[in-house]
Amino acid sequence: MQNQTLWLKSPAAIFTGNALNAGNGLVIKGNKIVELVPSGMKPKIHVDSYIDCSNQVVTPGLINTHHHFYQTLTRAVPGALNKPLFPWLKYLYQIWKNLDEEMIYTATQLAGLELMLSGATCIADHHYVFPKGLEQAIDIQVEAINSLGCRATLTRGSMSLGKSKGGLPPDSVIQDEDTILQDSQRLISKYHDNSDDGFIQIALAPCSPFSVSTTLMQDTAQLAKENNVMLHTHLAETEDENNFCMQQYGMRPLDYLEHCDWLGNKTWLAHGIHFNQDEIKRLGQANVGIAHCPSSNMLLASGICPTVELESAGCNIGLAVDGSASNDCSNMMQEVRQSLLQQRLRYGAEVITAKRVLGYATTGSAAVLQRPTIGMFDIGMQADLAIFSLDELRFSGVGSPLDGLITCGASHVDKLMVGGNWQIENTEHCALLSKQIMDKHQYLAKKLQSQNFVL
């Protein structure tokens, strides 16, 4: 439809992510939005075709800011259940050390498709496990993402401190620092597309302060600066992490981050729970982004992200499902609802509204990943959008369709458009069969989990 104009007409509700009036829908041409149609009005430009959205809610495509796609292969593993973060990690590393190329491709495809079916048009992943034979993991992920037709920020993760040097992971999944840095540069040069309509972007992402050396943290920051790419890591997820940093480095995680020259507006952090007020102020002053992961934080009993304080201080807040092994789900719209419920426990119903948390998943996430042409509806923005049907029992009787989309528990899209192209129609991907991917993924998950390991 590159030369055609399409009108998404008369939606039951539309969330623009800004104060603009698009009550009677959007007009799309090629890969961009060319007109917002106010309530009671018709398009000013010629329209070639239209879709009646009168029983549907239209939103910008949701944007997931943190994930571990490979973890879809280890959901609800018995030996990892009912454990806090560190024991949970130690158990699962013994399984993850056996990952292979086929597993990474299929896990990426399945996780990406699951996210898309729940409304995501742009997804981020943090891959940092590189056992022997899996050195090309990010290349494999790029191939899998391209088969889905969505946008992605793929991070070149890393771990250089194995168990023998006081780290958590087994030595078999870590890499030496020269290898990590050389491969990081290779991936940036080969895949990173920073254009307005770029689909694949690369960021650099040491796993956490307790899995890499100070030298690697500092060298990664320098490499990112030289290439103008973003930095990502886990930080302040648990009190155990704070204690580890104090014991290992004599400083709290944020002080350590600043020591490594990471405190800047090209950095976004996963979780960001256990900050004190001074640290929140410093994060805001540096315009650091936060990937808010409510389901994972609840499942591992890690805590509640102080989103309102962080946002007030100057941080961008994005939403994330986190790894499937710490969430057991990759559903972005479900994560929006989880954020609404969790954050109301901390801030109350008047402060945490459906629009606010939907904003985390769209405009906030776009700001976190520094993708200025997605995440909201305006003329000239990329045509990335999700259409949710209200034709389900759960929505019967809804008075406010937009609020009901979240509080009544929407779980899947009817249609999904990325860059002006329909990737999902009638709840099915236009090019891939979910059942085929799932059957292969299930086989590989059983294969991975059945391999013997020693703790």
Contact 26, 8 (CB under 8 A): yes
- For residue 270, the model assigns a pLDDT of 98
Of 333, 368, 403, the position where a domain reaches its end is: 368
Q: Cα angle vertex 178, ends 176, 184, to 5°? A: 105
Q: Quick check: is 54 in a domain?
A: yes
**Which residue's structure tokens are 């059983």?**
446
What does the pLDDT look like over 359-384, one tens digit per residue? 999 999 999 999 999 999 999 999 99
Band of pLDDT at residue 200, cut at 50, 70 and 90: very high
The DSSP code sequence of 307-327 is HHHHHHHT-EEEE----GGGT
Q: Quick check: is 382 in a domain?
A: yes
Contact 43, 27 (CB under 8 A): yes
DSSP 415: E
Number of domain units in the chain:
2
Q: Quick check: is 441 in a domain?
A: no
**Which residue's structure tokens are 């369709």?**
401
Contact 105, 127 (CB under 8 A): no
Q: What is the mean pLDDT of the chain?
A: 95
Same domain for 198 and 301, yes or no, is: yes
Q: What are the angstrom distances between the C-alpha of 253 and each of 262, 293, 303, 331?
A: 11, 18, 16, 30
Whether the pLDDT of residue 167 is over 80: the answer is no
Same domain for 31 and 79, yes or no, is: no
Query: How far is the C-alpha of 120 from the C-alpha of 361, rounded, in Å?
Result: 9
Q: Quick check: is 453 in a domain?
A: no
Same domain for 314 and 166, yes or no, is: yes
Same domain for 379 and 352, yes or no, is: no
What does the pLDDT look like over 240-290, one tens digit per residue? 888 888 988 999 999 999 999 999 999 999 999 999 999 999 999 999 999
Band of pLDDT at residue 168, cut at 50, 70 and 90: confident
Contact 196, 366 (CB under 8 A): no
What does the pLDDT look like over 227-241, one tens digit per residue? 999 999 999 999 988
Contact 108, 68 (CB under 8 A): no
Q: Write the CB contacts of 354 (distance below 8 Å, at least 6 apart in sequence).
A: 340, 402, 403, 405, 406, 407
Contact 407, 344 (CB under 8 A): no
Q: Quick check: is 80 in a domain?
A: yes
Whether the pLDDT of residue 455 is over 70: the answer is no
Which sign, positive or negative, has the C-alpha torsion 193, 318, 305, 112?
A: negative
Closest CA to 329 of 105, 64, 128: 64
Same domain for 264 and 143, yes or no, is: yes
- For residue 317, the model assigns a pLDDT of 98
E-state strands within 159-246: 200-206, 231-235
Whether the pLDDT of residue 73 is over 90: the answer is yes
Same domain for 167 and 296, yes or no, is: yes
Whether the pLDDT of residue 139 is over 90: the answer is yes
Band of pLDDT at residue 122, cut at 50, 70 and 90: very high
Phi and psi, residue 202, nearest 5°: -115, 135
As a whole-number percent, the residues of the chain with pLDDT over 70 amount to: 99
Same domain for 132 and 38, yes or no, is: no
DSSP 300: T
Q: Are strands 120-127 and 421-425 parallel, antiparallel or unpaired?
A: unpaired
Give the sheet arrangement for strand 25-29, strand by strand. 32-36, 25-29, 5-9, 49-52
Q: Quick check: is 79 in a domain?
A: yes
Band of pLDDT at residue 46, cut at 50, 70 and 90: very high
Whether the pLDDT of residue 177 is over 60: the answer is yes
Band of pLDDT at residue 209, cut at 50, 70 and 90: confident
Whether the pLDDT of residue 163 is over 90: the answer is no
pTM value > 0.95: yes
**Rounded average pLDDT over 313-325:** 95
Band of pLDDT at residue 452, cut at 50, 70 and 90: low
**Rounded average pLDDT over 393-401:** 98
**Encoded tokens for 392:** 């389900």
Contact 367, 318 (CB under 8 A): yes
Contact 432, 109 (CB under 8 A): yes
Same domain for 317 and 406, yes or no, is: no
Same domain for 256 and 287, yes or no, is: yes
**Share in percent of the chain as helix, strand, coil (round to 5):** 40, 20, 40
Contact 240, 84 (CB under 8 A): yes
Range of the domain at 258: 62-368
**Encoded tokens for 187:** 């991936």
**CATH number, position 360:** 3.20.20.140
Same domain for 31 and 89, yes or no, is: no
Q: Quick check: is 446 in a domain?
A: no
**CATH number, position 39:** 2.30.40.10
Q: Quick check: is 30 in a domain?
A: yes
Same domain for 82 and 218, yes or no, is: yes
Of 323, 344, 368, the position where a domain reaches its end is: 368
**Rounded average pLDDT over 124-150:** 97
Contact 440, 433 (CB under 8 A): no
Of 368, 385, 409, the position where a domain reaches its end is: 368
Same domain for 207 and 267, yes or no, is: yes
